[in-house]
Structure 1
Amino acid sequence: MSQEVETLESMIGYQLKHLQSVLRSRMDEALRPLELSTPQYACLELLRRQPGASNSELARGGFVTRQTMNTLLRGLQDRGLVERPRKATTGRALPTTLTAEGEMLLEGAVARVETISELMVSRLDDTQKDHLAEALNLCIGALDPASD
């Protein structure tokens, strides 16, 4: 009654985690000269796309807790890369925006990250890239119906 055990390398979840780990490592390495971590980069990128986003919105978009995002934002604010009002104008949310310095730093960071992203899919043709994106979106939707 021996069951054949598939290798870790043949398990899609393991492959995705391996890819995520290698991608994160490469991004950290590329962003280090800019004194940015991958989560800090993600926060700046989210703010470029959603100026005035709240801490909660940024945390959801960056896949971190609100507490972690608050710490990230304080560090970015101390470096002059983002601005937040001292008090909320309505409710409790403090809308955050990029500063000019944050936008300039983000430009350089985006170029570095895009280079890594291009390398990651460099062995795929356009059809394979489209199929990969479609398959990943289907997998995300299966596990996170709210993302649909």
Structure 2
Amino acid sequence: MSPSSEEAWIGYGLKIAQHRLRQRLEAELAGTGVSASQNAVLLAIGDNPRISNASLARAAFVTPQSMQGMLVTLERDGFIVRTPHPEHGRIIMTELTEKGRAAAQAGMVAAEAVERQMLSGLTDDEAALLRDLLRRCADALGEG
């Protein structure tokens, strides 16, 4: 059985859905000035300004090295400011600017709209079941 057969692999179906979700989200975010990954970072920083670069990388599904470049870009473009922690010199505090807060809010609205579109063909019970099944599949595969 190949991914292009009538009874396609579930993983292949997940990848198609994920790819289309990402394309749709990128299209919705186009007016905000940030990508889907950058939006995930802004939302994570908004929730916790003391979040580590490693945690940010996990939130955005990128490597720690890519995260460092993303933070430099977000700072250069005025979405975040980074300052040394007043008591712990090695810790860098990252905070959203007004522009960053506005982009994060717009990104949240865009993500919610795309999710509503994605789930529009499902009942509430089916959406809840899908959420549970995907979580269980992810749990079965572990952290990787």
Q: Quote the Cα distance in structure 2 between the aligned partners of 1:143 and 1:41.
A: 26
Alpha-carbon distance in structure 2 between the residues aligned to 1:106 and 1:91: 28
| Alignment partner, residue 101 of structure 2 | 103
CA distance in 2, matches of 1:108, 1:144: 32
Structure 2 stretches lacking a partner, 5+ long: none
1:95 shift after superposition:
2.6
Between the two proteins, the alignment pairs up a number of residues equal to 142
* Secondary structure class of the residue paired with 1:10: coil
Cα RMSD of the aligned pairs, angstroms, is 2.0
| Contact kept in structure 2, 1:52 and 1:96, CA below 8 Å | yes
Task: Report SS of the residue matched to 1:103.
Answer: helix
Change (3 A) 1:116 1:88: same
State the secondary structure of the residue aligned to 2:83: coil
Identity in percent = 32
1:59 touches 1:69 (CA, 8 Å); kept in 2?
A: yes
C-alpha contact (below 8 Å) 2:40/2:60 kept by paired residues: yes
Tell me whether 1:117 sits opposite 2:109 in the alignment.
Answer: no
- Give the strand-richer structure, 1 or 2: 2
Q: CA deviation at 1:55?
A: 1.2
> Which residues of 2 match residues 121-140 of structure 1 at below 5 A?
121-140=119-138
CA–CA distance in 1 between the matches of 2:111 and 2:87? 35
Residue aligning to 2:14: 16
1:50 aligned to which of 48, 51, 57: 48
3-state SS of paired residue (1:75): helix
Q: Where do residues 52-91 of structure 1 align in structure 2 (5 Å cutoff)? A: 52-86=50-84, 89-90=87-88
Going from structure 1 to structure 2, the CA distance change for 1:145 and 1:104 (only over 3 Å counts) comes to closer
CA contact (8 A) 1:8 1:14 kept: no
Q: Distance in 1 between matches of 2:75 and 2:83?
A: 11
Query: How far apart are residue 61 of structure 1 and its match?
Result: 1.8
Q: If the length of structure 2 is used for normalisation, what is the TM-score?
A: 0.88
What are structure 1's unaligned runs of at least 5 residues? Answer: none
